[in-house]
Amino acid sequence: MTHVKYIFRLFVFGGGRRMCAGPAIAANRMFLYMAGLIQSFDFHAVTGEIKPNHDVRLYKMGVPPSPKPYKVVAVPRPKNVEYP
């Protein structure tokens, strides 16, 4: 019985028919937030800043693995230009 209780502790948002809608809402919200940023800004590396290497073996370990931090500039896109 202890083993069954331990397994259910891993289901933070529940499971089955009564699973919490939180993970789906959070994923959709994150997608909309990122799409809005990408739609509204052009991102460029700061002049003179060394860009991170794309070799995944050099990334900082974690979930997910990530490159070393570096600075970027977000330039607002013009609002009166229509994109194809």
Task: Determine contact, residues 45/51, Cβ cutoff 8 Å.
Answer: yes
CA atoms within 13 A on the CB side of 64: 3
* pTM of structure: 0.57
Q: Please indicate, yes or no, if residue 32 is contained in any of the structural domains.
A: yes
Domain that holds residue 17: 2-76
What does the pLDDT profile of the chain (84 residues) look like in tens digits? Answer: 555 554 555 556 677 777 777 878 888 999 999 999 999 999 988 888 777 777 777 777 777 777 777 888 999 988 776 766
Q: Please indicate, yes or no, if residue 81 is contained in any of the structural domains.
A: no
Q: Please indicate, yes or no, if residue 84 is contained in any of the structural domains.
A: no
Q: Please indicate, yes or no, if residue 83 is contained in any of the structural domains.
A: no
Q: Please indicate, yes or no, if residue 62 is contained in any of the structural domains.
A: yes
Q: Please indicate, yes or no, if residue 25 is contained in any of the structural domains.
A: yes
Residue 27, both tokens: 């994923």
Q: Please indicate, yes or no, if residue 15 is contained in any of the structural domains.
A: yes
